[in-house]
């Protein structure tokens, strides 16, 4: 369970709860504070408020655990891979205790096997880089998965394959997941819950299917503008 009431530097006003095994899609216009909210949860931005994951208080007021102590699987737009490491090493560097076979298994789950795991990011396609980033996020045995527009830089056919990979990822990990997206196909295909942000605030949240189907929701009114 991710339970948060956070105010980050924008400031951000958010009150959200994501149960174990469920996915929240965070949607809204550019500059609404979606990425900043993820970074505040991960400890990469100073924030006030409360962030609690699996009963552990990560943030309480202005004090909180440093980022390296938070069990977060974070995937940024573009993947954020280390350019000097090959795919396998990028996954192993996230493991608390390096385990080559476990890392290879994670890459295989993302449909990456054989010589491709020895390639550095410059030798990988955009879709392959994102698969490595997803495998690396899982390698941390995360308490929560945070995905910041992970598919924005790839074309639609690759995007569909990656959405399927994330669906498999959901089966492999019971960790709650929050994904920032502008693509409602992603939200509909992945998310159990949806939250709409505007001007640094979560102004609407609820079951994804209900919000996406409601023509009067803030989400759909924004899309219609």
Is 77 part of any domain? no
Question: Do 196 and 160 belong together in one domain?
Answer: yes
The verdict on residue 76 lying in a domain is no
Average of per-residue pLDDT values in the chain: 85
Looking at the structure, tell me whether residues 150 and 135 fall in a common domain: no
189 and 127 co-located in one domain: no
Same domain, 136 and 154: no
Going across the sheet that includes 144-148, the strands are 72-75, 144-148, 177-180, 23-27, 193-198, 201-207
Does residue 156 sit in the same domain as residue 218?
Answer: yes
**Shared-domain flag, residues 67 and 156:** yes
Structurally, the chain folds into a number of domains equal to: 2
Per-residue pLDDT of the chain (225 residues; tens, 9 = 90+): 777 666 555 566 678 889 888 889 999 888 888 888 898 889 888 777 888 888 888 988 778 889 889 999 999 887 889 999 999 999 999 999 999 999 999 999 888 999 999 999 999 998 899 889 989 998 988 999 999 988 777 777 777 777 777 777 666 678 899 999 877 766 777 788 999 998 888 889 999 889 888 888 888 888 777
The enclosing domain of 219 has a CATH number of 3.40.50.300
Partnered with residue 17 across adjacent β-strands are 3
Read off the pLDDT of residues 47-56 as tens digits, 9 standing for 90 and up: 778 888 888 8
Same domain, 161 and 128: no
DSSP lists the bridge partners of residue 3 as 17, 52
- Pair (64, 166) in one structural domain: yes
Same domain, 150 and 219: yes
7 and 64 in a common domain = yes
Burial class (CB in 10 A: 0-12, 13-18, 19+), 93: middle
The closest alpha carbon to 91, from 125, 119, 65, 63, belongs to 119
> Which segments of 13-127 are extended strands (E)?
14-18, 23-27, 48-53, 56-60, 63-64, 72-75
For residues 98 and 50, membership in a common domain is answered with no
Q: Are residues 108 and 213 in the same domain?
A: no
Is 72 in contact with 2 (CB distance < 8 Å)? Answer: no
> What distances in angstroms separate CA 180 from CA 3, 82, 164, one per listed residue?
17, 22, 17
Residue 103 lies inside a defined structural domain of this protein: yes
Angle of helix 100-109 relative to helix 126-139, nearest 10 degrees? 130
What is the domain range of residue 105?
A: 82-141
Angstrom distance (rounded) from CA 106 to CA 113? 10
- Strand-pair partners of 60: 50, 63
The full length of the chain comes to 225
């Amino acid at each position: 369970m991710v339970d948060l009431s956070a105010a980050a530097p924008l400031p951000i006003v958010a009150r959200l709860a994501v149960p174990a095994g469920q996915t929240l899609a965070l949607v809204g216009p550019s500059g609404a504070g979606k990425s900043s909210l993820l970074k505040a949860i991960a400890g990469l931005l100073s924030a006030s408020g409360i962030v609690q994951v699996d009963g552990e208080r990560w943030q309480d007021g202005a004090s909180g655990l440093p980022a390296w102590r938070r069990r977060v699987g974070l995937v940024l737009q573009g993947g954020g891979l280390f350019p000097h490491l090959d795919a396998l090493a990028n996954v192993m560097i996230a493991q608390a205790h390096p385990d080559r076979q476990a890392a290879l298994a994670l890459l295989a789950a993302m449909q990456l096997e054989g010589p491709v795991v020895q390639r550095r990011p410059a030798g990988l396609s955009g879709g392959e880089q994102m698969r490595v980033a997803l495998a690396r996020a899982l390698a941390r045995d995360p308490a929560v998965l945070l995905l910041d527009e992970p598919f924005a830089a790839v074309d639609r056919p690759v995007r569909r394959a990656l959405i399927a990979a994330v669906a498999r990822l959901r089966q492999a990990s019971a960790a709650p997941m929050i994904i920032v997206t502008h693509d409602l196909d992603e939200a509909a295909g992945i998310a159990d819950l949806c939250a709409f942000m505007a001007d640094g605030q979560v102004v609407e949240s609820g079951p994804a299917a209900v919000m996406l189907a409601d023509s009067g929701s803030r989400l759909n009114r924004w899309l219609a503008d």
